[in-house]
Amino acid sequence: MGGPLKSRKTVGREESTTVRFFRGSLPIGTSSSKDAMDIIDHAEAADVSIPTNCTSGTCGTCLVRLMSGHVEIPEPIPPGIDDFLIGQGGVLACCMSPTGDIEVDTIPPI
């Protein structure tokens, strides 16, 4: 798997962004919005449960795996994730936003 996520720029929202959620290979929900939303907000809109704790990227509780697409990674990288996890497709749902359509596995990459 290549590096999925290094984009750090914001995308204009002229079109809807769609987030498809999976549990392994099983589709469990979809959310579309023209508003800039973190992955956790999309999950809430799709009635998909992703555990959270700090909601600021510090604890890593909301770690999920990006299957396709790209997300905006805050600079500096939040303490709840590291370059290794990012390389494995890990993203923090509470503080990372899609830059276009994405697919997310709610099972973390660890």
Decide if 46 contacts 29 (C-beta within 8 A): yes
Residue 12 has pLDDT above 70, yes or no: no
Q: Is the pLDDT of residue 15 over 90?
A: no
pTM for the full model? 0.85
pLDDT digits (tens, 9 = 90+) for 44-102: 999 999 999 999 999 999 999 999 999 999 999 999 999 999 999 999 999 999 999 99
Neighbours of 21 (CB within 10 A): 26
Report how far Cα 93 is from the mean position of its chain's Cα atoms. Answer: 4
Phi, psi of 44 (to 5 degrees): -60, -45
Picking from 31, 38, 21, 34, the residue whose alpha carbon sits closest to that of residue 95 is 38
Q: How many C-beta neighbours within 10 Å does residue 23 have?
A: 13
What is the reported pLDDT for 13?
57
> Any idea which fold 28-105 has?
Ubiquitin-like (UB roll) (3.10.20)
- What residue has token string 């099972």? 107
Domain boundaries, the chain: 28-105
